[in-house]
Amino acid sequence: MKANMQRLRQTINTLMITLVFPSLLSLFSFTPGPGTKAPGLALIQKQVKVENAFQMVKIDGDISVVLTNEPVGRLMVEGKERDVNRIRFTVKNNKLIIDAQRKTSFDALTIYLPATGLQAILVNGDTDISSAGIIKVDDLHISLNGLSSVRVTTTGKLSFDTPYEYELLWGSLLMEK
């Protein structure tokens, strides 16, 4: 009887090692194939056309902004499909209002914003503002309300204000031969 119990225990151990372990290994090493992503999680770029002229931009939400020299009236938004489709754009009194507070994930959301003719940017949220190349503006004022980083290269004047103390690091454009 004791020998039978020992044989049964060895058989169960052998089955566990030969059947369960490979099954668990294959389950945890599974990667979905193409076309099996959940809807709304794909990274997309969406072009937004703004019909009315604007000289000021107000941004509400935690996003990245890249200033460009592209023609006025065309913005590009890049991020998860679900987040991109939740952003609202409105123009009132020459002010473009970008509402990105409906963003649901912590993934990056970037707006490529034409800087031509822009005079002021007001940011309410944690924002990273940068430039794609050297931006051609005469005078641009940026108001920061949140934890922000600004790395902008411009041919014109750039000024800032914020309700919090902040560290300002100025750099100059160096050209190598």
- Band (pLDDT 50/70/90 cuts) for residue 176 is very low
- CA distances to 32, 45, 114, 150 from 66, rounded to whole Å, are 33, 14, 8, 10
Closest CA relative to residue 59, chosen from 2, 144, 167, 150: 144
- Spatial distance between the Cα atoms of 119 and 89, rounded to a whole number of angstroms: 18
Question: To the nearest 10°, the Cα dihedral for 10, 13, 19, 22?
Answer: -130
Residue with tokens 């430039």: 131
pLDDT tens for residues 8-54?
A: 777 776 766 666 555 555 555 555 555 445 555 678 899 888 888 88
**Structural domains of the chain, ranges and CATH numbers in brackets:** 43-161 (2.160.20.120)
Structure tokens at 132: 């794609």
Q: Across 136-170, where does the E strand assignment appear?
A: 139-145, 148-154, 157-161
| Length of the chain as a residue count | 177
Type of residue at 116:
T
- Spatial distance between the Cα atoms of 64 and 122, rounded to a whole number of angstroms: 13
pLDDT tens for residues 122-166?
A: 999 888 999 999 999 999 999 988 888 889 999 889 888 877 666
Closest CA relative to residue 78, chosen from 52, 113, 54: 113
DSSP 171: -
pTM (2 decimals)?
A: 0.70
* Contact call for residues 131 and 112 (beta carbons, < 8 A): no
Structure tokens at 77: 């938004």
Question: Residues 66-86: what's their mean pLDDT?
Answer: 90
Buried b (16+ CB within 10 A) or exposed e, 117-129: ebeebbbbbebbb
